[in-house]
């Protein structure tokens, strides 16, 4: 696995795009909404990894609930795998609890699945694989 991106929950993605563009001295390279997750995302390339900003598009979005509970900040870490179906199976067999037991469509042309943070020391972990 390699660290593909870190997801950061933000209240106002337009404002945060400006903030992170100033931080990295480079603009985001894409904005994309994922309706099924109720989020609008933007991506910054930072070396070999990326930063994904996430803004809720509805009050019942997981990002809205996260910000309500914990405020803005690091939401998840995403690891790229070569075969997401095999990894879901392997991790399930090792006793990890998965939020998605089947890979689903995510942002940035990826198939994704999330693990339950309860089974990973409180860290929300996303597995992702390029659709190619
Ligand atoms: Zn992500």
CA of 93 to the centre of ligand 1 (A): 23
Query: Which is it for strands 125-130 and 73-80: parallel, antiparallel or unpaired?
Result: parallel
pLDDT tens across 42-62, in order? Answer: 999 999 999 999 999 999 999
* Residue 17, phi then psi, degrees to nearest 5: -60, -40
Tens-place pLDDT, residues 22-46: 999 999 999 999 888 899 999 999 9
Question: Tokens at residue 65, please?
Answer: 């609930």
* pLDDT for position 22: 98
C-alpha torsion sign, points 63, 42, 89, 81: negative
pLDDT in tens, 80-125: 999 999 999 999 999 999 999 999 998 889 999 999 999 999 999 9
Question: How many whole angstroms from 78 Cα to the centroid of ligand 1?
Answer: 6
Give 5 Cα–ligand 1 centroid separation in angstroms: 6
Classify residue 98 by its DSSP letter: B
pTM: 0.93
DSSP code of 115?
Answer: B
Cα angle vertex 52, ends 93, 76, to 5°? 35
Residue 73 CA, ligand 1 centroid: distance in Å: 13
Going from the Cα of 9 to the center of ligand 1, the distance in angstroms, rounded, reads 10
List Cα–Cα distances, 46 to 67, 114, 129, in angstroms.
24, 22, 19
CA of 112 to the centre of ligand 1 (A): 8
Q: Determine how many CB atoms are found less than 10 A away from the CB of residue 21.
A: 14
């Amino acid at each position: 696995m390699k660290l593909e991106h870190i997801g950061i929950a933000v209240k106002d993605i337009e404002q945060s795009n400006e903030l992170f563009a100033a931080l990295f001295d480079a603009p985001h390279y894409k904005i994309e909404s994922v309706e099924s997750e109720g989020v609008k995302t933007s991506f910054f390339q930072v070396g070999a990894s990326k930063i994904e900003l996430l803004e809720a598009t509805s009050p019942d979005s997981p990002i809205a609930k996260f910000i309500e509970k914990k405020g803005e900040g690091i939401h998840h870490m995403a690891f790229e795998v070569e075969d997401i179906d095999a990894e879901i199976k392997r991790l399930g067999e090792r006793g990890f609890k998965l939020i998605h037991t089947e890979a689903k469509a995510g942002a940035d042309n990826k198939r994704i699945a999330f693990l339950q943070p309860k089974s990973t020391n409180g860290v929300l972990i996303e597995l992702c694989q390029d659709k190619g």
